[in-house]
């Protein structure tokens, strides 16, 4: 595939998402509950595996650092601290790396953002279950039908696309737009 073909494919997938009213409503709902959480003293937590974890880290730092303009930091964290991941993987198993952090830090009014191109990762499913037990809103950034994670989410942002890279590109675009919407909603 040439660069031109790859860019055309990326644009096609993004256009499918852009013209789907269900997708747009999910984006608006995500931004709304995130702004509401911040306004009421809550925090955002984010997690994923592999490239989706990189997106979770990027998402969190846009709130604690800055997006486009200087502003006060907002409480957001990616659930990916390396010593925690290796400790829990070794002592309890990889399935529990995120749920134990949700157990430790999740409070009613918080938002857990889970990123997965398949929706079938056990560690994300267990994190969603832990969040629901604590009154934490769960937002899934998913693809390929959403897998086992979709029914555990309060909001599902479902990216079209057949490959993980195209799904993740939609996810990151929406995450950036949501950050912009949250800042606007909070008057930042």
**Could you write out the three-class secondary structure of 59-77?**
HHHHHHCCCCCCCCCCCEE
Q: Taking a C-beta distance cutoff of 8 angstroms, is the pair 171, 159 a contact?
A: yes
The domains found in the chain, sorted by start residue, are: 3-185 (3.40.50.10490)
Identify the segments of the chain with pLDDT beneath 70.
none
Q: Taking a C-beta distance cutoff of 8 angstroms, is the pair 112, 45 a contact?
A: yes
- Which residues on neighbouring strands pair with residue 121, listed in sequence order? none
Q: Taking a C-beta distance cutoff of 8 angstroms, is the pair 185, 69 a contact?
A: no
Tokens linked to 48: 């994923």
Task: Write down the pLDDT at residue 29.
Answer: 98
Task: Write down the pLDDT at residue 85.
Answer: 95
Taking CA atoms, 178 is separated from 7, 87, 88, 99, in Å, by 23, 33, 31, 24
- Which residues on neighbouring strands pair with residue 76, listed in sequence order? 44
Task: Write down the pLDDT at residue 1.
Answer: 87
Total Cβ atoms within 10 A of residue 134: 15
Task: Write down the pLDDT at residue 27.
Answer: 98
Task: Write down the pLDDT at residue 188.
Answer: 93
Dist CA 69 CA 21 (whole Å): 30
Q: Taking a C-beta distance cutoff of 8 angstroms, is the pair 112, 133 a contact?
A: no
What string of DSSP letters covers 115-170? E-SSS--HHHHHHHHHHHHTT-EEEEEEETT-TTTGGG-SEEEEE--SSHHHHHHH
Q: Which helix (H) or strand (E) holds 8?
A: helix 3-18
Whole-model pTM: value is 0.96
């Amino acid at each position: 595939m040439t660069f031109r073909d790859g860019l055309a494919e990326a644009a096609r997938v993004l256009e499918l998402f852009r013209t789907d009213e269900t997708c747009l409503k999910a984006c608006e709902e995500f931004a709304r509950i995130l702004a509401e959480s911040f306004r009421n003293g809550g925090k955002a937590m984010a997690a994923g595996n592999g490239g989706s974890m990189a997106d979770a880290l990027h998402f969190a730092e846009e709130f604690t650092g800055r997006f486009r303009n200087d502003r006060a930091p907002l409480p957001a964290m990616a659930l990916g601290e390396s010593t925690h991941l290796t400790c829990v993987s070794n002592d309890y198993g990889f399935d529990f790396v995120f749920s134990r952090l949700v157990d430790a830090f999740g409070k009613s009014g918080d938002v857990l953002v889970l990123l997965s191109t398949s929706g079938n990762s056990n560690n994300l499913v267990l994190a969603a279950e832990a969040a629901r037990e604590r009154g934490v809103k769960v937002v899934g950034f998913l693809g390929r039908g959403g897998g086992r994670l979709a029914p555990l989410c309060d909001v599902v942002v479902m990216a079209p696309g057949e490959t993980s890279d195209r799904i993740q590109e939609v996810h990151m675009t929406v995450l950036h737009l949501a950050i912009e919407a949250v800042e606007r909603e909070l008057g930042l």
